[in-house]
């Protein structure tokens, strides 16, 4: 893990969000058929992102839940633990312990980045699904009148 550029990894979050935002802005002008295709693609990306998180969790802990609400509750507990561990790290002078702490912190940072990117994919999928549903409602409303 040594030498990993966490700043660059963190920058991927805003790049990912900016890309999703640009797609959503373009989708706002899309036809119903195009939105349907965009929804399918976004759902596939969101599912793949969720699978990546679950695979990482499986490898790290032996089991993982694909339920977002359960993940959020665990996330809050994990953040509290990491904050407590950060205080403990301040007291460590031993080089081997410091190296282990650094690797653990880097792993945590990478997991947080992956989680954020998956959340962005899920949000993009939800927005596109809502746009498609609205376009469908409008199409059915105009055809019945």
pLDDT digits (tens, 9 = 90+) for 24-81: 899 888 887 888 888 888 888 888 887 777 777 666 654 444 566 677 667 767 766 7
Contacts 24+ apart (CB under 8 A), 27-35: 27/128, 27/131, 28/131, 30/131, 31/135, 32/132, 32/135, 32/136, 32/139, 35/128, 35/131, 35/132, 35/135
Mean pLDDT of 16-23: 90
Task: Identify the pLDDT of residue 9.
Answer: 82
* 20: confidence class by pLDDT, cuts 50, 70, 90: confident
Mean pLDDT of 114-139: 87
* 22: confidence class by pLDDT, cuts 50, 70, 90: very high
Query: CA-to-CA distance for 96 and 92, rounded, in angstroms?
Result: 10
Task: Identify the pLDDT of residue 2.
Answer: 53
Task: Identify the pLDDT of residue 83.
Answer: 63
The residue ranking higher by pLDDT, 10 or 16, is 16
């Amino acid at each position: 893990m040594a030498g990993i550029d966490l700043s660059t990894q963190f920058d991927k979050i805003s790049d990912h969000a900016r890309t999703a935002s640009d797609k959503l802005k373009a989708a706002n002008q899309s036809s119903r058929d195009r939105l349907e295709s965009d929804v399918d693609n976004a759902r596939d990306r969101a599912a793949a992102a969720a699978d990546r998180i679950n695979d990482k969790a499986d490898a790290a802990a032996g089991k993982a839940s694909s339920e977002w609400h359960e993940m959020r509750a665990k996330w809050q507990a994990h953040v509290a633990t990491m904050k407590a561990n950060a205080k403990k790290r301040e007291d460590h002078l031993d080089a081997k312990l410091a190296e282990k702490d650094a690797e653990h912190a880097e792993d945590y940072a990478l997991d947080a980045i992956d989680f954020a990117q998956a959340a962005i994919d899920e949000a993009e999928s939800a927005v596109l699904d809502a746009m498609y549903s609205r376009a469908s409602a409008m199409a059915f409303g105009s055809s019945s009148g």
